[in-house]
Structure formats: C-alpha cells, structure tokens
Chains A and B, each alone.
Chain A
Amino acid sequence: MKTTLPVLTGIGSVTPYGPLAGLIPAESSGPLEPSAITAWTTLELRRAFLVEPFRPASIVPGLKTRRLDRLSAWALVASSLALRDAGIDLGQMDRSRIAVFFATGFGCVELTEAFYQSAATYGWAETDPITFPETLSNAPASHVALFHDLRGPNVTVSCKSFAAESALLQAASLMRHGQADLAIVLAGDTLTQAVYEWYETADLLSPACFNNEPASSVSGFIPSEGLVAMVLEPAGRLAARPYAALGAGRWAAGGDTRAGVRQLLEGGLPDFILCAGNGAPCTPSSLTCSPRDLVGEDTTIFPAQPVAVGMGEAGALLHLLLALSRRPGPGQALLLGTSAHGGFAALRLELF
C-alpha cells in the first residue's frame, strides 16, 4: 500500500447488528429484519431497525453513561471501539491534533423530547437544567472529546441527505490542510416516538413497518437507528491495518448527478460502487440516477441496505461498513449517495 491519502484504519459501531469493533462478521452481515417497537406504547404492531439495549460499561470498561442519552452513549462506545480496532494508543499522540467530526440528522432528539416533557409537565419556568445542555446536537461529539481528552477541532454537522458523507469529506479536508493529524468521524441518530410518528403521519413508512412481512418483499422506508465511528489517519503507521484510503469527493444539494459524478471520476471507472441511498423516504425518483447509468457492466454494485437507508442523512457510514463487511477485495470504489430529494454525494475510495 502506497498512498498519501488519509486512510480508514478503525471502525466501531453500535447498530441493529449490536456493538462491534471492525467489520460486521460474515455470519451476521446479511439482510436484517426490523423488530417490533417496545420502547413506547403502540396500539398495533410497529417495526423498525432498532439497537438492542446493552450496558456500555460491558463494552468499554469504566464508561459512565448514566446521565447521557443513547446517542452520546453510542458515540462513546463506537469511538472507543474504533480506536481499539485501529490499534491507536492515544497516550502516544498529540491529542490537541485529533479532530472529532459528527454527522447527525436529528441530534439529541431523545433529550429534546424529554425537555419538552418537563416543559409540558412543570411549565417553561421549571425545566430541567441537567437536560438542557444535553439537548444540543454537539453533545455526543463533545462527550467523545471529553472522554478521550481530544482537544482538536470538534464539529457537528447536519446536511440534508448527505451528513455522513460530508463529515467524511470535511474531516479529510481538515487533515489535508494541516488542521488535524487524525480524525474520528461519527454518524448516527436515535429513533424516538416523535420521529417515528412523524414518518407515519406523513405516510412515509414501508408496509414492512406494520406487519411481519420480510423487509425485502416490500418497498419503502423502514426507520433505523445506530451510530458508526471511523478513524482516519495519514497513511504509513506501521501497525495500521487500513480498510481503505479516501480520495477526492464532492457533494451537492442539486444539479446534474451524472455530470457531477463523471467529473469526479475523471474518465476512469471504479471497480465497485457502494450505494448509499439516503433520505426519507427512499423511493425511486427521477431526481436520482441509477449507479448503472454511470458505469459499465464490469463494475460491481453493492446496493443500499434498508437498515442503513433508514438512518437517512446519517446512514452513509453504515452503508460503507456493510459494503466493506462483504469484503469486496482490493480496487477502486465509489461511495455514491443519492437521495429522492435530489443532489448527490460521491467519494472515491481505494479499497485494500
């Protein structure tokens, strides 16, 4: 491996597949089925891709998450697993040069709802001071900085349809411009009653949310939750086992997807396209282009997985993790995010 590009060397995740370091094992990386919602009362069956409850300290010894919402707890677990997977000893590093870049669609919506609950119950004049700061979208990223003592740039972004892709690109940009030596990129969201019922009231949900039909047999959007963390570092650390190198990329809110992607590919064709179908609902649209339109028959296309599609704008890291877990082999890849709302995100990768 010879590259001057930032390389992806560590992965940690808390998803419906459970908390994991590295790739998802082959025996469990197949299509998932949504599970019944029990976190709130539903009159009839309602399903989604959910993260099973677990004790964070059982994964990261000593981790205290009692006052945190699930998103912050998952961020701490996933970032710890990603660093462990990368084999990085933070004690040997200048932590003021390590960036945290977090992508989310809804941020700390659980505690935002809890804050509204306290306002509804006690009135605006008597809301909970412990909850308020934790409602801010950057709370998970700041907890990651606090827990690992990371004193570099700490950024939380949200981008219609392409938050995770933009976080990857912008974190790589920080490293390229000498503003950080290493970056932990995270992307995730939690599913709450208010968010789920918003989708349902807006008539966005797949029939698979309402009955026990296999998700693969019906179309539409099945909400999902989870968080994936990835470690980016410069190439060359001897102990590193890189999954991929990040090349050029771009994203746009609109315009001609085909022209934009072809410009990025500079006439070359990737060996693989890793699809990241983002946005809710994930329905076919004339605004999106088919990956096959962009490439020839020699390119292998990894279709978007419903479990990652359900995470909307924060889903691209899970799309990438699922594709890497199928061990596509070495070659040039394009992570391609498209959305029913239009626009695209594309990132060239060199897979090892």
Chain B
Amino acid sequence: MIDAQKTIVVTGIGVVSPYGIGLSRLQAGMLAGQCCLALATDLYPGFQGTVAPVGALPSLHDGHHYSRSDRLAMVAARDAVADIASSCSSFRESGIVMASTVAGLTEIDPEISRGPAAWYRHGGLSRAASYSVSRVAASVGECLDIQGPSCAVSVACASGAIALVLAANMLLDEAAPMVLAGGSDALCPFTMSGFNSLQALDADACRPFDQNRKGLNLGEGAAVLVLETLAHATRRGARILAVLRGWAMTNDAYHPTAPQKDGIGLASCIQRSLEMAECSIEEVGYVNAHGTGTPLNDIAETYAYERAFHGRSRPIPVSSTKSYFGHCLGAAGALEAAITIMAMRAGVLLPTLRLTDPIESLESPQVDWLRGELRRQPLPVAMSVSAGFGGSNVALVFGSYRS
C-alpha cells in the first residue's frame, strides 16, 4: 500500500543545456545521438580544449546583477514551473534547494587578488555579491517570488543529486508543499584552469568507460525538478512524471579527489538506495552513471556496479550521458536525473557516445555497456548515480508512476 504522504514524485522538469532550453530539446538532441562537445580556444589565453557551452540566455531585466550560474538556474526554474505557478495556491511557500560549485566565480577575475578594494571600486562589488553559492538558490526564489525554505548545496560534482535528496527529506518533513530542486553551473576560467591543472581534461571529446579514455570535458547547464508528495500532487491534479522511490548518500572517506578504487562506498550507496526503494537488483532497467571519462573514476564506478548488482540474472545496462555534453559539475546530478526520467518516459536506453572499445577489465559480466544504437524497451525503474571530489556518492532510484 502506497503512503501518498511519504511518496515523493516529480511533477515538473526544467532544463537549460547545450541543446537549448527545455527537456524536449534535450530529448530530441540526445535521442538523435547529437554530441554538443566542440573545440574551444577562447575561455582564457592559451586555452584549447573541448567543451559544451550553452547558447544565449533570455535577458533578465530586473535591475539585479546575476551571475551566469544564477541565470542558468533561473531560466531552468521558470521552465520547470511553467504550468505550475498558476495552478497551485501554495506555490509561494515552496522550498528551493539548488546546487552549484562555480556559482558566482564566473563574475570574478584574478585582479581581485592584487587589490580587492580597487577591484570592487571599479564595478566589482555587485559581481562579488554573487560569489556565495547561496545566491543561486536565492536568485531562483527572487525570480519566482518564492518565500519558503531556501538552501544551496555545494558538494562538488555530487551536488545536483544531493539537492534532490535534501528536497525529498524536506517534503517528508512537511517543510514545504513542494520543492524546486536542482543544480546550475556555468563554464568559467576558474574551473577550466583547475581541471586543466589536475590534468583531468581530455583535449578531444571524452570517451567514458572506453579503453582510450583520457579525461573529462566540461559543459554547462542547469536542471530544476519540481518535487512534491504524491498526496499534494494528486490534490492539485498534477501530471506525475516519475516517482523518486529511493535515495542514499555515502562518503568514501578515502582521498580528497580520488574515488575509492574498489568502489565499495558507491556500491554501498547503491544498495542503500535500493533498500529504501524496496527494489531488487533485477528490477533496475538502467543506470545513468557518473561516468566522467577519467581513468580512476570509471574503474571505481565499474567495480561499484559489479559489487552492487552481483547476482543479477542479466548484466545491468549502464551508460554515461556526459559523453553528449560534458560534465556540468554542480548541475550534473540534476541534469542526469532529468535525463533518467526522460529515458524512462520515452522507453529508451541511451548509449555512451564514442564507447567503442571498453577496456578489458571493464568487460564485466555484471555490466551491459550501452553503446552504438539507441535501445528501445520499457523502463519502469532506473537509477542515476553521482559522485564528487571529497568522496561523496549519491544514488537516486526513479520509478514510473501508475495511478
């Protein structure tokens, strides 16, 4: 028997991606196998690499200075609630949980380090005000005139998925009638330079889980999901896109940047999320992997799937959709949750692009590496997995909704 007060459902999805604004554009692009990664040379002097930028954003003429991460979030949030704001009397009391790692770093340049006061006097004060990650959540609230609990999450590349977890817990606590949750991050020299210094970038389009993978590509974007309890959604006659059946968060406590080699922490996270979802390993039809394309991440992740899905009667289908438009950092977990729901509703298994030669140690009997053609099949249960610097792991289990 379903407890409608304790069942969390997704009733809206807003997306800004390199495909454009809206989930339908993302879906059309991904189902067509279109890759948005392209060579760029203008992110900073001397930079040459492969990235996936978002095109022009709608202007926001309201007198405030918003960072690019703020604006991506605001556009995604507007998209998510396009037909909700007017149909829900308690919309203004909604909660907001937005993730970001970059936030307003897009607005600050190195000159600040030479003399902050001088930099501020030359017009940097309002730009510096967008530095805090909390600005991303506050911007969404200002944009939609929402006054409920507002919170920003910054847990590196796991941030977007963690935002969804915190939102679900807020709903279980009845802290808000619905929660807008997601993530937003913009491309900027700070992160490009940082990942470049770590030698984590692939100069060409990334190849997650491939023998010849060399690293990740950075992208930008935002996704905002509208979460509410089934009871609330039913009362207001909302269209239910998916059920968030289970979730879990763990930490490797292993290394500041490297994942635990044997994937134990991530496997434990997956197992806990399945326990919460009351879902067997046989029921999961697809895993949208973290799949950055870095040598260490992809190995650790593979071991995690082997461990978590051990004993399954057939290999678990896995792909990395970062191969389409790169790694959007704090937005990644939310974007991939949106993609997972899109895949469930469309009944498709998305392949990893450019995965032509899975390395031998990854030819696992437990894992069905999706590659080549799009596969069409019913998908009642799917999982989205995220991880990040600092050792955090998140697993989200989504199910389709039958009234």
Contacts and interface: CB of A to CB of B under 8 A. Distances in A.
Interface of A: 95-96, 100, 105-107, 112-117, 119-120, 123-129, 132-139, 141-143, 145-146, 148-160, 163, 166, 170, 173-174, 176-177, 179, 193-194, 197-198, 200-202, 250-255, 313, 343
A240 B268 CA distance: 30
A124 B44 contact: yes
Given A117-B110, A158-B133, A152 B251 contact: yes
Contacts of A112: 105
A133 B257 contact: yes
B113 A120 contact: yes
A256 to B, nearest CB: 9
A125 B390 contact: no
> For chain B, what secondary structure do more than half of its interface residues adopt (helix, strand, loop), or is it mixed?
mixed
Contact of A146 (B92, B156, B175, B256): B256
Contacts of B92: 255
Interface stretch (B186-194, B227-235, B316-324): B186-194
A253 B249 CA distance: 26
B44 A125 contact: yes
Interface stretch (B61-69, B144-152, B213-221, B306-314): B144-152
A125 B251 contact: no
15 contacts: A115-B194, A123-B45, A127-B194, A127-B197, A133-B256, A138-B392, A142-B391, A150-B251, A155-B249, A156-B154, A173-B173, A179-B249, A201-B116, A255-B92, A255-B148
Interface stretch (B13-21, B162-170, B288-296, B340-348): B162-170
What 3 A-B pairs come out closest when comparing CB atoms? A142-B390, A254-B147, A132-B194
A158 B166 CA distance: 13
Given A124-B193, A134-B256, A198-B128, A252 B151 contact: no
Contacts of B132: 105-106, 158, 160
A193 B105 CA distance: 17
Nearest to B256: A133
A145 B251 CA distance: 7
A280 to B, nearest CB: 11
A125 B196 contact: yes
Contact of B146 (A106, A116, A125, A253): A253
Given A157-B152, A158-B134, A151 B249 contact: no
Given A136-B101, A138-B390, A177-B169, A159 B256 contact: no
B390 A136 contact: yes
A88 B50 CA distance: 49
Contact of B116 (A129, A198, A343): A198
B391 A154 contact: yes
Contacts of B46: 123-125
Interface of B: 44-47, 92-93, 96, 101, 105, 108-114, 116-117, 120-121, 125, 128, 131-135, 137-138, 141, 146-156, 162, 166, 169-170, 172-173, 175, 189-190, 192-199, 248-257, 265, 268, 388-392
Q: Identify which of A142, A152, A197 gathers the most chain B CB atoms within 10 Å of its CB.
A: A142
Given A123-B46, A124-B193, A141 B390 contact: yes
A152 B250 CA distance: 5
Contacts of A137: 101, 133, 154
Contacts of B120: 197-198, 201-202
A117 B197 CA distance: 15
A343 B141 CA distance: 12
Contacts of B151: 157-159, 166, 170
Contact of B113 (A117, A138, A148, A255): A117
Contacts of B152: 157-159
A47 B252 CA distance: 41
A110 to B, nearest CB: 11
A120 B390 contact: no
Given A155-B162, A197-B116, A197-B117, A160 B251 contact: no
A151 B194 contact: no
